[in-house]
């Protein structure tokens, strides 16, 4: 505040009204191949329609596409990174009016053979220019009227490159020397899906400011996600990279997939790094609170191709997490008959018995979350362990997700205290920000109790001289009732119940 030097009334504003923001608790990231769409770019989709429009209809060659459909049945925010291997973009050209040269070059908006079903129809406009229609799989998906060509028209909003600048299907490049087009139907050719994406495509790289694959999600300051998946990819290189990325970010969890077709013993051996027979199997046990594993693969119906097929469990698990958040809180267990029942799943590879569930989930060191097909209740997620092997509160998904949510929200709020004076006023502001938020979580059944300490006991002269302000948050997280133990006590007729 400036010091007044002459008489008068001086008003100032001091804003201490900081509050804890509301952040989404379910934002999913997926990496994998798709029928079409931008390659090695982060693309946000919010519903099945926009996903299909951007990345095409599902295909059994692309497991991520079915996982995305599963998640979007309950989730609202999905970041997609499509990867591909030596893929080729289909191309073609619009001919000039005398049909002797290519007047306008055209190419599909993304690589892949999907453009084999793409055509461009040119017709003379009622006034000047041309009516140009884009047809995909026999359906007209885009129409522009009165389109002009020729570089002399490049400044007009009706210029062909301008009109189709944001097309999801075709990009045009005017050769510049022609002003007329031959009416007719044109097709694009040469598109190629390429080989299936390999491990290096999924894991990706970072060179300078350019990233590919899952490395596009490596920086939490650029993109906010709560869970990350590479659906259907169980190779040790991919699984280890996915878990390492989640740990490095420190604000999300990875849901990893096992190979399809494993038995109960095999999936336990696989996640313990003891399954042999394939060089891509895990070579050591996975052990991290930033990951979770579900089994087995689940059968869904693909209405686009009229077929039933098995999809990776990670996508269904992500759907269960999203649904659980929508009807409860992030710290409620995403499992059980109330929140763990994914509608639309037809069957599972194998429904584990109680003894098998005791082995894969109840035995210390085994952290496989099973889907079970109960005879009267249907297919249900029946586990919520993280991949942490140590027996602490963080070996459960509900506690881990509560901690990640609280840490992200509190860290976002207290950023506004950075560079403030390291004194009791700022310490008080820290407590006033954090305590109401944690009290709210406790009221919403996420904590039994908590305590926030930020005072002279945590901020000693040593830390103050290091330009460091320290706060300590003590939490007693709510645990899920995974086992309900009921005792039936029979007494003699004359006994008193008070004795029991």
Do 98 and 137 share a domain, yes or no?
yes
Residue-level pLDDT at 206: 94
Alpha carbons 100 and 248: distance in angstroms, whole number: 58
Tokens of 188: 């694009």
What is the per-residue pLDDT across 61-88, written as a single tens digit (0 to 9) for each? 899 999 999 999 999 999 999 998 877 8
Question: pLDDT class for 492, splitting at 50, 70, 90?
Answer: confident
Beta strands per DSSP E along 245-324: 253-256, 291-295, 298-302, 307-311
Task: Please say whether the beta carbons of 313 and 295 come within 8 A.
Answer: yes
The answer as to whether 486 is a domain residue is no
In the chain the first and final C-alpha atoms are separated, in Å, by 70
Do 268 and 320 share a domain, yes or no?
yes
Question: pLDDT class for 114, splitting at 50, 70, 90?
Answer: confident
The answer as to whether 12 is a domain residue is no
In the block, tokens 């031959």 appear at 182
Q: Exposed, middle or buried: residue 320 (CB in 10 Å: 0-12, 13-18, 19+)?
A: buried
**Average pLDDT rounded to a whole number, residues 407-431:** 93
Do 155 and 117 share a domain, yes or no?
yes
Question: pLDDT class for 152, splitting at 50, 70, 90?
Answer: confident
Phi–psi pair at 33, nearest 5 degrees? -90, 160
Candidate from 350-354, 372-376, 397-401, 493-497 with smallest mean pLDDT: 493-497
The answer as to whether 164 is a domain residue is yes
Do 278 and 377 share a domain, yes or no?
yes
Query: Considering its fold, how many domains does the chain have in total?
Result: 3
Q: From the CB of residue 158, how many other CB atoms can be counted at a distance below 10 Å?
A: 17
**Which sign, positive or negative, has the C-alpha torsion 269, 274, 275, 280?**
positive
What CATH number is attached to the domain comprising 164? Answer: 2.60.40.4290
| Residues 6+ positions from 156 with CB-CB distance below 8 Å | 148, 162
Task: Please say whether the beta carbons of 288 and 387 come within 8 A.
Answer: yes
Task: Please say whether the beta carbons of 122 and 132 come within 8 A.
Answer: yes
Question: pLDDT class for 247, splitting at 50, 70, 90?
Answer: very high
C-alpha triplet 189, 91, 152: angle, nearest 5°: 145
Do 127 and 42 share a domain, yes or no?
no
Do 276 and 301 share a domain, yes or no?
yes
Do 274 and 379 share a domain, yes or no?
yes
Residue-level pLDDT at 14: 64
The answer as to whether 482 is a domain residue is no
Residue-level pLDDT at 496: 80
Mean pLDDT score of the chain: 92
Question: pLDDT class for 254, splitting at 50, 70, 90?
Answer: very high
Do 255 and 351 share a domain, yes or no?
yes
The answer as to whether 317 is a domain residue is yes
Task: Please say whether the beta carbons of 228 and 238 come within 8 A.
Answer: no
Do 263 and 376 share a domain, yes or no?
yes
Do 363 and 228 share a domain, yes or no?
yes
The answer as to whether 408 is a domain residue is no
Instruction: From residue 432, give the alpha-carbon distance in Å to each of 136, 413, 438, 460, 467.
Output: 57, 11, 11, 20, 21
Residue-level pLDDT at 3: 64
The answer as to whether 358 is a domain residue is yes
What CATH number is attached to the domain comprising 355? Answer: 3.40.50.11780
Do 252 and 160 share a domain, yes or no?
no
Helix crossing, 63-72 with 48-55: angle to 10°? 160
Residue-level pLDDT at 279: 95
Q: How many CA atoms lie within 13 A of 13 on its CB side?
A: 2
**Average pLDDT rounded to a whole number, residues 345-372:** 95
| Last-in-domain residue among 168, 187, 206 | 187
486 pLDDT more than 80: yes
Candidate from 109-113, 259-263, 328-332 with smallest mean pLDDT: 109-113
Q: Does the pTM of the predicted model rise above 0.85? A: yes
Alpha carbons 326 and 72: distance in angstroms, whole number: 12
Tokens of 250: 């420190």
| Residues 6+ positions from 292 with CB-CB distance below 8 Å | 253, 254, 255, 256, 317, 369, 384, 385, 386, 387, 397
The answer as to whether 8 is a domain residue is no
Using DSSP, state whether 425 is helix, strand or coil. Answer: helix
The domain in which residue 140 lies consists of: 91-187
241 pLDDT more than 60: yes
Transcribe 332-399 into DSSP letters: S-S-HHHH---TT--EES----HHHHIIIIISTT--PEEEEEETTTEEEE---B-B--S-SGGGBHHH
Do 112 and 141 share a domain, yes or no?
yes
Q: Which of 28, 23, 19 is nearest to 81 (CA)?
A: 28
Question: pLDDT class for 155, splitting at 50, 70, 90?
Answer: confident
C-alpha triplet 448, 449, 455: angle, nearest 5°: 160
Residue-level pLDDT at 257: 97
Residue-level pLDDT at 85: 81
What is the per-residue pLDDT across 447-458, written as a single tens digit (0 to 9) for each? 999 999 999 999
């Amino acid at each position: 505040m400036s010091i007044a030097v002459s008489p008068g009334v001086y008003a100032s504003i001091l804003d201490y009204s900081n509050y804890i923001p509301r952040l989404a608790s379910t934002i999913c990231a997926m990496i994998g191949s798709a029928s079409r769409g931008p390659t090695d770019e982060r693309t946000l989709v919010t519903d099945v329609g926009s996903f299909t429009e951007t990345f095409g209809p599902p295909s059994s060659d692309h497991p991520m596409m079915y996982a995305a459909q599963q998640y979007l049945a309950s989730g609202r925010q999905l970041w997609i990174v499509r990867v591909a291997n030596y893929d080729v973009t289909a191309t073609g050209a619009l001919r000039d009016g005398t049909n002797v040269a290519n007047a306008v070059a055209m190419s599909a908006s993304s690589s892949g053979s999907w453009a084999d079903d793409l055509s461009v129809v040119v017709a003379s406009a009622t006034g000047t220019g041309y009516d140009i229609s884009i047809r995909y799989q026999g359906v007209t998906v885009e129409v522009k009227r009165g389109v002009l060509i020729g570089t002399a028209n490049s400044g007009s909003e009706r210029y062909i490159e301008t009109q189709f600048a944001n097309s999801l299907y075709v990009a045009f490049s005017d050769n510049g020397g022609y002003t007329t087009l031959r009416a007719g139907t044109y097709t694009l050719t040469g598109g190629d899906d390429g080989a299936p994406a390999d491990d290096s495509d999924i894991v990706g790289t970072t060179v300078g400011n350019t990233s590919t694959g899952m490395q596009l999600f490596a920086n939490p300051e650029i993109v906010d996600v709560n869970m990350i998946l590479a659906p259907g990819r169980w190779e040790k290189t991919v699984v280890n990279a996915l878990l390492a990325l989640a740990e490095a970010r420190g604000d999300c969890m990875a849901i990893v997939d096992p190979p399809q077709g494993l038995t109960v013993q095999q999936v336990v051996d696989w996640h313990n790094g003891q399954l042999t027979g394939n060089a891509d199997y895990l070579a050591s046990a996975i052990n991290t609170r930033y990951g979770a594993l579900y089994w087995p693969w689940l059968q869904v119906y693909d209405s686009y191709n009229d077929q039933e097929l098995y999809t990776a469990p990670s996508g269904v698990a992500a759907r269960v997490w999203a649904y659980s958040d929508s009807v409860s809180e992030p710290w409620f267990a995403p499992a059980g008959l109330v929140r763990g029942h994914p509608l639309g799943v037809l069957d599972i590879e194998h429904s584990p018995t109680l003894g098998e569930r005791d082995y894969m989930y109840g035995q210390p060191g085994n952290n496989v979350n099973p889907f079970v097909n109960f005879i009267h209740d249907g297919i249900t997620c029946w586990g919520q362990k993280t991949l942490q092997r140590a027996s602490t509160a963080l070996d459960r998904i509900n506690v881990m997700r509560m901690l990640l949510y609280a840490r992200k929200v509190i860290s976002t709020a207290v950023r506004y205290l950075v560079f403030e004076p390291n004194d009791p006023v700022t310490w008080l502001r820290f407590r006033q920000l954090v305590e109401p938020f944690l009290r709210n979580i406790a009221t919403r059944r996420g904590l039994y109790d908590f305590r926030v300490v930020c005072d002279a006991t945590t901020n000693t002269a040593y830390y103050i001289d290091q330009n460091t302000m320290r706060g300590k948050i003590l939490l007693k997280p709510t645990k899920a009732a995974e086992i309900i133990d009921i005792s039936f006590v029979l007494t003699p007729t004359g006994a008193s119940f008070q004795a029991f």
